[in-house]
Structures are given as C-alpha cells and as structure tokens.
Amino acid sequence: MAKTPISFSLDSSAFRKAAAEAPKVYFRHLRDGMRRAGAQFEKEYVARRLSGAGSSSLARRSGNLRRIFAGRAVAGRDLDTLHLTIGFGPPAVPTATGGALKYVSIHETGGTIVPKKAKHLWIPAEPNQTPAGLARMSPTNFMANPNRVFMKWGRGYVAALRMFRGSKSKLGPALGKQVSTKVMFYLAQRVTIPARLHFGDDIAAYWPRAQEYLAVATMRASAEVSGGGA
C-alpha cells in the first residue's frame, strides 16, 4: 500500500522556460494567422471589386488601384505592437505614391468631380480609347491638332476632329474634302461617381472570419507552449 500523503513538485526549470518562451511562440503563430487572414481577404476582395469581372467590380483600365491595394502587411516586434494593415496605399503598400491614391476616397464613398482650373472635364470618347479604356490622345495633343472642332452635343459639348478624304497629310483642310467628324472627348462640367469599392462594408463582413484565423493561431500556440506540438 502506498504511503499517504503523496507529494508532487513542479519542474520549475521547464515551467520557467515555457513561460519565458510563450510570448515569442504566440507572436509567431498570431503573426502567421494575421498574414493568412489578410491574404485571403486580399484574394477575395480583388476578385470581387478590382478584377474587372462581374457587375460588382470596377472596370479595370490602368490597373493602378489594384497595384496600390494589399491585405497582408503585418508589422510589429512583439505581441504589444503586432498588427495587420489592409487597404490602399501606405502603410499597406509602402511604395504607393500619388496617382490613383487620390481616387480611392471618391470610389469608396461616391461623390461629384468638378474641374479645378479648366471649364470642363475631358472624358475620352470610345474612338479615343484604348482597349483598356485609356485615352489615346490627350487634351493637350488635341488642342495642338489643326483639325480640332467643338460642337454642341445634347446639353453639353464634345471635342472632335474633322476627317478628310483625299488628304495624305494630317494637316487637312487645304488638302482634302471633309467627310465626317470623330468625337474624341465629351466635355462635362461635373461627373458623379457612385460608391463602388465598398472596402469598409467588405472588411466589416469579413472580420468574423479573420477572428477565426486568429483563434486557430492561438490554439496552435497554446499547444506548442504546453508541449503538445510545434
């Protein structure tokens, strides 16, 4: 028969070692969980909003908005500073500057664009668009063309080029007969942009799933600390 009472003691050295390593283990697993959560959101958001495919996505032209969006920017040296940044431009994309950044807000919330200095906004017409929807001819080059003409179009105006027959030169009028005009730009005093990025709505809907990634990471860290796995 065993003697009573029976005493148990802790392996204090192993306990102290595990306690000392725990923050590092949790940091490593949670950092990985954040990266996984961010990468999955980035994949789904790009497919839904920035791919150019489907009715809920922006038509992809230059691809600038896609290039300044990221969802896996994880930073921090310890548990107190560990964080995930998802979004457009810095710090999610540290190298993103100017350009498309100024358009993110209006595509997210919607709004009206008006010219700051000119009288009109110059919107490329289909004959003046590349397959990606970008302007082939700039307003500056249009104004330098001697065949330019401005015409009334509904309630507004268009900028067009006079087309000539029998002319071997783009200088036009004196060398050929005008047969048509090609609309190059629609001139607008304002353009209303609807909210189309829906980033805030999508990240809010995704948040419960992001928490699942962190919960799994926490369980893996706990198992490693307790000696149940790595």
Question: Are both 69 and 173 inside the same structural domain?
Answer: no
Which residues, at least 6 apart from 47, have a Cβ–Cβ distance to it below 8 Å?
53, 57
Peptide bond between residue 91 and the one before it cis (omega within 30 degrees of 0): yes
pLDDT tens-digit readout, 126-154 = 999 988 788 999 999 999 999 999 999 88
Residue 91 and residue 41 share a domain: yes
| pLDDT at residue number 189 | 93
Query: How many structural domains comprise the chain?
Result: 2
Q: How far apart are CA 135 and CA 142, in angstroms?
A: 11
Residue 99 domain flag:
yes
Domain range spanning residue 177? 115-189
What is the β-pairing status of strands 111-113 and 191-193?
Answer: antiparallel
Same domain, 182 and 198: no
Contact by Cβ (8 Å): 90, 37: no
Q: Which long-range contacts (CB under 8 A, 24 or more apart) does 197-200 make?
A: 197/49, 197/58, 197/65, 197/104, 197/107, 197/108, 198/49, 198/56, 198/108, 199/45, 199/49, 199/87, 199/88, 199/108, 200/108
Q: Are residues 182 and 197 in the same domain?
A: no
Residues 172 and 216 in one domain: no
Who contacts 165 (Cβ-Cβ below 8 Å, separation ≥6)? 176, 177, 178, 179
The answer to whether residues 197 and 106 belong to one domain is yes
In a domain, 3, yes or no: no
In the predicted model, what is the mean pLDDT of residues 74-90? 92
Same domain, 107 and 150: no
Give which of 156, 210, 152, 148 is closest to 181, Cα–Cα: 148
- Residue 59 falls inside a structural domain: yes
**Residues forming beta bridges with residue 156, ordered by sequence position:** 153
Rounded CA separation 203/48 (Å): 12
Q: Is position 88 within any domain? A: yes
101 and 148 both lie in a single domain: no
User: How does pLDDT run across 65-75, given as a tens digit for each residue?
Assistant: 888 898 878 99
- The answer to whether position 54 is within a domain reads yes
Read off the pLDDT of each residue in 43-57 and give the average, rounded to a whole number. Answer: 87
Cα separation values, 111 from 7, 56, 135, 196, Å: 74, 18, 23, 11
Q: Could you tell me whether strands 69-75 and 177-188 are parallel, antiparallel, or unpaired per DSSP bridges?
A: unpaired
Residue 5 lies in a domain: no
On whether the CB atoms of residues 123 and 146 are closer than 8 A, the answer is no
- Note whether 59 and 194 are within 8 A (CB): no
Element (H, E) at 165: strand 156-165
Residue 75 lies in a domain: yes
Overall pTM > 0.75: no
What was the pLDDT predicted at 177?
65
pLDDT digits (tens, 9 = 90+) for 151-172: 998 888 999 999 877 555 454 4
Do residues 140 and 205 share a domain?
A: no
Query: Does 73 lie in the same domain as 43?
Result: yes
Same domain, 32 and 58: yes
> Does the residue 133 lie in any domain?
yes
